[in-house]
Amino acid sequence: MDWRSKMRVTLLGSGTGIPLASHGSPSILLSTERAQYLLDLGPGTLRRLAHLGISHERISGVFVTHFHPDHSLDLVHLLFATRHPPVLRQRRPFFIAGPIGLNQFLLALHSAYGDWISLPKGLVKVVEVHPGADITELCPPLTIKAAPTGHTPHSLAYRFDHPQSGSIVYTGDTVYSEEVIGLAQGADLLITECSFPDELPVEGHLTPSIAAKMATEAGVKKLALCHFYPEALASKIASQCRGHFQGELVLSSDGVEIAP
């Protein structure tokens, strides 16, 4: 069986919180031979799933990197849509995994929306992930680990290893981070942010050259850049990377599939 029957990623949103027709807010669909998962779910994620012919009912779990709206807003949509009676009657249990503070974040959402996003007991499992934790039990056969990114006090990057289809690391928003480099060591695919060009660096985010340096230091085979602000899209991202990373480079766009 080839990689597509085992594990694949689809970039649902390769942009940021800035509304762009070409680049939606951050979200990735991770598919294995057993299940499908969302890595972040910015606004518009469920609609982009529907465009691919995939119902939100099929999502077995969600991994949130941090709680900024452009990475988490469609969590409200997911919970609300799950309450639709025909969905609720047949919905299988699923999980929401995220950094320290996830339980408090969900409580705040419930304070705002009340029963409109409340689900029956046992339908959703909430998992707060600590840096360095191994959360493999969530979705076999994947081995899953997490590391801090430094973007927020508790933001996380995730690594997914498949016994037959390689390894994928998704950082969400990050700074230059030894912890992320360690997490990504030898990975087949590193998906990381590239918010701004080298000439317009912004604290808390990566530029092309820094992302490329991290990929080289981690020894990854393939680097996929995403989370582009308009300033990055208007720049020469690839050329700014090339002096620092010699592996395969992908400039992500919405809907693209990337092999590990």
- What are the sequence ranges of the domains in the chain? 3-258
Classified by CATH at the fold level, domain 3-258 comes out as Metallo-beta-lactamase; Chain A (3.60.15)
d(CA 176, CA 76): 30
Q: 62 or 134: whose pLDDT is higher? A: 62
Q: Which residues pair with 148 in a beta bridge?
A: 156
Where helices occur in the chain by DSSP H, the ranges are 45-51, 69-72, 74-82, 85-90, 102-113, 178-183, 208-218, 230-233, 237-242
For residue 39, count CB atoms less than 10 angstroms from its CB and return exposed for 0-12, middle for 13-18, buried for 19 or more: buried
For residue 241, is pLDDT > 60? Answer: yes
Six-digit token pair at 134?
Answer: 């191994």
Residue 128: the pLDDT is: 98
- Residue 208: phi, psi to the nearest 5? -55, -45
For residue 74, is pLDDT > 50? Answer: yes
d(CA 86, CA 156): 34
Q: Which helix (H) or strand (E) holds 125?
A: strand 124-128
Beta strands 59-63 and 94-98: pairing type? parallel
How does pLDDT run across 7-64, given as a tens digit for each residue?
999 999 999 999 999 999 999 999 999 899 999 999 999 999 999 999 999 999 999 9
Six-digit token pair at 72?
Answer: 């988490």
Looking at residue 88, the DSSP 8-state letter turns out to be H
Confidence label for 229 from pLDDT (cuts 50, 70 and 90): very high
d(CA 149, CA 106): 21
d(CA 225, CA 170): 10
pTM, two decimals, is: 0.96
Yes or no: say if 245 and 207 are a contact pair by the CB < 8 Å rule: no
Confidence label for 260 from pLDDT (cuts 50, 70 and 90): confident
- Residue 63: phi, psi to the nearest 5? -115, 115
How does pLDDT run across 176-194, given as a tens digit for each residue?
999 999 999 999 999 999 9
